[in-house]
């Protein structure tokens, strides 16, 4: 099953006897690592208590369009931006109708209009209500708009009728979303990503390196897995765990990174050079620890490392090549120069002098630059920035 770690699931629960199954849906998502928040309609509270869903999800329940505890009291906007996936389960005929007509007189309707997240609807109603022409028209309209329906299932209903209208079982709902996620915009693509710092040894105990934490590269790798890609992650020494679906290649030096990248690129469609590779290495390596009492001063002669990004661009030009530019001044201008001199398809620049988005930060703000345009991705968590970057890459390679 797909790991939903770092995935924000917004579960909408509407009024119906099947609402009791929403607790199990929450449990299954959380088991796979997701963070789950719940929006309830007033009628849903007649079938399952907010306290139950709060206890299972570990988060407060949302039910009001205007939230005095939210920034500017606009809770629906905050939740809309927070969600990666919106699932309404169970979803009544009334809610389907309201979504179809774009009504925003309650929190759930407003969220659908305000969010760019993928939306899934799992209907649950009497079979006659589901088969009614109005409901079927609404269903077809929403499918055309890109909303995905899960079910309804066939079977005996609470009223005694037998036919379509039952809520799909929680396990099948999770399985359905998993399969669809694995058919993401990068399905069938292989991506090689570099991450973290490299280390250039001076002697057995000392090395030249930098402050890269690897968080951005690991976030891109994780997002790429969720978008259906096969992922090679060539990583320097970091204190991070990679998704078990990622092909992990651990290295220390720039030359080791290049060797692994060359192997991976033989079967890769996309390269994303996110690592902070050491530009220089010591010309001479001391096999013994250099003792400070033996030297009143120490001079270390450096020589250039092979430019991995340029090497990939020169030798794997059929692939889509993306670089990163960590700058402290003239951020966009310097990145554009790098884009041209290294003949890249895209470069992503950020200002590492800003400590809130620099090395080891959990958030980032970047400029995505191609030969045709520059897009600013405003400050957000690195995993969300990673998803936006991959959506842009996917759109470019599928033009």
CA 268-274-275 angle, 5° bins: 110
How far, in whole angstroms, is CA 228 from its chain's centroid?
Answer: 11
Set 91, 159, 264, 274: catalytic member: 159
Pairing of strands 200-201, 207-208: antiparallel
Helix (H) or strand (E) holding 120: strand 118-123
Task: Identify whether the C-beta of residue 246 lies closer than 8 Å to the C-beta of residue 297.
Answer: no
Give the Cα separation of 79 and 119 in Å (integer).
14
Query: With the CA atoms of 139, 145, 148 and 149 taken in that order, what torsion angle do they form, in degrees rounded to the nearest 10?
Result: 0
> What's the DSSP call for residue 398?
T
CA–CA distance, 240 with 380 (Å, rounded to integer): 20
In 3D space, the residue among 361, 269, 256 whose CA is nearest the CA of residue 305 turns out to be: 256
Query: In this structure, is the dihedral angle defined by the CA atoms of residues 249, 254, 258 and 261, taken in order, positive or negative?
Result: positive
Q: Measuring CA to CA, how many Å separate 110 from each of 39, 41, 106, 115, 122?
A: 11, 12, 6, 9, 18
Whether 320 contacts 393, CB under 8 Å: yes
Residue 274 designated active-site: no
SS3 label, residue 27: helix
Cβ atoms < 10 Å from Cβ of 173:
22
Q: Which residues are catalytic?
A: 159
């Amino acid at each position: 099953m797909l790991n939903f770690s770092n995935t924000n699931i917004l579960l909408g629960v509407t009024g119906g006897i099947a609402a009791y199954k929403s607790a199990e849906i929450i449990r299954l998502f959380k088991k796979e690592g997701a963070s789950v928040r719940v929006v309830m309609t007033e009628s849903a509270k007649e079938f399952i208590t907010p306290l139950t869903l709060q206890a299972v999800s570990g988060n407060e329940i949302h039910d009001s369009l205007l939230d005095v505890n939210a920034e500017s009291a606009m809770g629906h906007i905050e939740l809309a931006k927070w969600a990666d996936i919106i699932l309404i389960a169970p979803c009544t005929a009334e809610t389907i109708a309201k979504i179809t007509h774009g009504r925003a007189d309650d929190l759930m309707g407003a969220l659908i209009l305000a969010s760019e997240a993928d939306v899934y609807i799992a209907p649950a109603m009497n079979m006659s209500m589901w088969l009614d022409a109005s409901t079927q028209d609404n269903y077809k309209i929403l499918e055309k708009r890109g909303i995905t329906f899960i079910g309804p299932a066939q079977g005996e209903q609470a009223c005694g009728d037998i036919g379509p209208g039952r809520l799909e079982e929680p396990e099948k709902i999770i399985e359905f979303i998993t399969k669809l996620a694995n058919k993401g915009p990068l399905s069938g693509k292989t991506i090689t990503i570099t991450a973290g710092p490299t280390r250039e040894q001076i002697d057995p105990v000392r090395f030249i390196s930098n402050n890269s934490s690897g968080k951005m590269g690991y976030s891109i790798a994780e997002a790429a897995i969720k978008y259906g890609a096969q992922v090679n992650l060539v990583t320097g020494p970091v204190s991070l765990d990679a998704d078990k679906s990622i092909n992990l290649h651990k290295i220390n030096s720039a030359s080791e990174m290049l060797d692994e990248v060359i192997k991976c690129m033989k079967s890769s469609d996309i390269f994303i050079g996110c690592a902070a590779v050491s530009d220089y290495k010591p010309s001479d390596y001391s096999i013994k620890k250099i003792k400070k009492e033996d030297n009143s001063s120490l001079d270390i002669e450096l020589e250039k490392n092979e430019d991995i990004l340029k090497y990939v661009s020169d030798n794997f030009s059929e692939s889509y090549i993306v670089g990163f530019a960590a700058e402290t001044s003239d951020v966009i201008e310097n990145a554009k120069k790098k884009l041209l001199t290294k003949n890249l398809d895209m470069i992503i620049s950020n200002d590492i002098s800003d400590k809130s988005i620099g090395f080891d930060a959990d958030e980032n703000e970047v400029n995505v630059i191609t030969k045709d345009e520059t897009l600013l991705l405003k400050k957000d968590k690195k995993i969300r920035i990673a998803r936006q970057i991959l959506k842009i890459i996917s759109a470019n390679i599928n033009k």
